[in-house]
Amino acid sequence: MKQCLGKGWVVIGWLVVGTLLALAGLEVATRLFHWRPDRLMQADERFGFAHIPGASGWWVNIDAPGEFQTYVRINSRGLRDREYPYEKAPGVFRVLVLGDSFADALEVPLEDSFQEVSEALLNEGRNAPVEVINGGVWGYGNDLELLFYRLEGYKYRPDLVLLAFQSTSDVLENHQDLETQYMGKIYKPFFVLEDGELTLTNWPFPVESVEPPPPEGSVERAKAWLANHSRFYHVAGRVIKRRLGDLAGVLRAIGAMDPGEGDTEIGGIPMATFVYAAEYPPEWEEAWAVTKAIIAQLNREVTANGGRLVVLLLPDRNQIEGDYLAWALQKYPAMQERAWDLDRSNRIVREFLAQEGILGIEMLNEFRARADEAGRPLYYPRDGHWNVEGHHLAGELLAEKLCQQGLIVCK
C-alpha cells in the first residue's frame, strides 16, 4: 500500500514539474514570438489614456499573432512618428492628422502608414517641404481628437488639420451612454450636449479611478502577480474568453477570471452595426448630434489658430470587402427586422460638411474599385485595419486629392 502511495506521489510530482515546465516554455514562447503586444499606452488625466512618450515595442494581434508583428516607437512627445519640434521652420507646410487606430497605424511599419506615403509623394520635386505629422491614437474618438488638438496639436502650428473620420467607431465612442455601455466603464472624458452647447465632462480624468484596487485574498494576489509578470497569462485569458466561452463562465464564477467588458450588442444586434441603420434609435440620433457638434467645434478652433480643417472619410472594411450585410443578417437574425444602408454614414457626413463649409475627402469608390480589380484584401482579415497595401492606396489617394483640391501646391 505504501509503495503504491509513494509511486502516486512521484507521478503527481512529475505532473507538477511537467506542467510548470510547459508553462515556462509557453511564457518564453510568448515573449520570443511576440504573441502579446507590448505596453505602449498609459492612463492620462488629459485624455483618459495616451501613448507613453519614448515607449517602444512590438504591436501584434493577440487573437492572431501571426497576422502582423510591427516594431513601434513612440516619440518623446507621445506621437507615433518621428521627432517634430513645435516650432515650424520657415517655408514648411504642415499637415496634422487626427484620428484613431487607422491613423495610429500600429499594424504596419511607420514608413508604410498612409501619412508617410502621402508625405513622400507630396515632397516629390518640391523645394519647400511638406510635413505630415501623425497625431492619431489607437482608440480615440472625435472627442479625444478635439481635446488633443486643443491641448497639444495646435502647438505644431499646422496649416492643415486632417480629421480621419471612421464612422463605425467614432460615432459610438463620442456618445457617453453608448460608449459606457459598450465598454462597461467610463474610461475617458466625454463631451455632452447641454442646450445645444458642448460641455466637457469627467475632465481632468481621474486616472486613479481606472487603477485596480489592491488585491485581497490569495486568488486575487496570484492574479495580480501573474498580470504584472506573465505575458502568457494575458494570452491564455484572451483565448479562453474568445474561444472557450463555457470555461470562461466557470472561471469568472470562481473568481479566477475578471468579468467581461460591457454589452456589445443591443437586442441581438452588434452596437457598432447601428451606424448602418436606415432608421436610427434615439440614442444614435444623439450620438450623431454630438459628433457633428464636436467636428464643428474643431473647425472653429482650427480656423481661429490660422489653419484649415479637412475631414477624410475613411472607408470601412464592411463597405469594401465581401457582402457584409448578407453575412450579418444570417449571423444576427435580429437584424432582419430592420433596414440597413452601408453608405448612409457617408451621406450624413457629406451633407453636414457641406452645411458647415468644411471640405471632405472620400476614398470609398476608389477602395471598392481596387478591391474588385486586384482581388487582394486591403484590410487584415482578423484585425480589420488596413494592411500595407490599404495604407499605400490611402496615402496615394490622399496626396492626389490634396493636390486636386488646391490644398497643397503641387507640381
What is the per-residue pLDDT across 78-92, written as a single tens digit (0 to 9) for each?
999 999 999 999 999
What is the per-residue pLDDT across 89-122, written as a single tens digit (0 to 9) for each?
999 999 999 999 999 999 999 999 999 999 999 9
Measured at the CA of 391, the angle between CA 102 and CA 118, to 5 degrees, comes to 105
Find the helix or strand (DSSP H, E) in which 347 lies: helix 344-356
pLDDT of residue 231: 59
362 DSSP β-pair partners = 313
pLDDT < 50 regions, the chain: 244-257
Burial of 297 (0-12, 13-18, 19+ CB in 10 A): middle
pLDDT of residue 208: 84
Half-sphere exposure (CA, 13 Å, Cβ side) for 272? 13
Sequence ranges of the domains in the chain: 80-209+264-404
pLDDT of residue 321: 93
CA–CA separation, 192 vs 201, rounded Å? 7
CA–CA separation, 53 vs 410, rounded Å? 34
CATH of domain 80-209+264-404: 3.40.50.1110
